[in-house]
Amino acid sequence: MPSILDPQNRRPRRRPQYLDPLVAEICDALLRFGGSAPRDQVIAALGENRSAPVDNALRARAVAVFDAHSSLEALPTFVHPLFKLPFGPGHHRWGLTVEAEAFLRAGAARRARLKGVSLDP
C-alpha cells in the first residue's frame, strides 16, 4: 500500500494567497462605523491609524483593495466578497457584506470574552 508520506504521493503545496494588510484595516474601520460608512470617512480613518495625512497613494490603494475584494470576478473561486456598495454602483458608501460582518463581529466578541471584556450586542 503506498504511503502518503512518500514525496511522490503527496499533493503539491498550495501557495498562500497574498492578503494586503489594508484589507484588515478597512474591515476594522467599517466595523467601528457600524458596518458601512462613506468612502472618504473610511479612508480618513486609515490615515488616523497611520498618524499621517491621507495622500493620493493611500487613497488609490484603498480604493483598489476595496474594488478587488468587492467583486466576485476579482476573487479566487469559492471566496465570497468581503465588501459591498450598499447603494449600488456609482455611490461612494462602502460596507461589509452580511457574511463578513457576522464573521468579524463573532471574532471580536470571542477575543473580548477571552480578555474578560463585555461588548454590547
Q: What is the pLDDT along the chain (121 residues), one digit of tens a residue?
A: 566 566 666 666 555 566 788 988 999 999 999 999 999 999 999 998 888 788 999 999 999 999 988 877 766 666 778 899 998 888 899 999 988 888 888 877 776 677 665 555 5
d(CA 84, CA 94): 6
CB contact at 8 A, 31 and 101? yes
Give the chain's end-to-end CA distance (angstroms, integer).
54
pTM here is: 0.72
Grid cell of 87 as nine digits = 447603494
Q: Cα separation of 26 and 32, whole Å?
A: 10
What kind of fold does domain 18-114 have according to CATH? Arc Repressor Mutant, subunit A (1.10.10)
- What residues does each domain of the chain span? 18-114
Q: Is 83 exposed, middle or buried (0-12, 13-18, 19+ CB in 10 A)?
A: buried
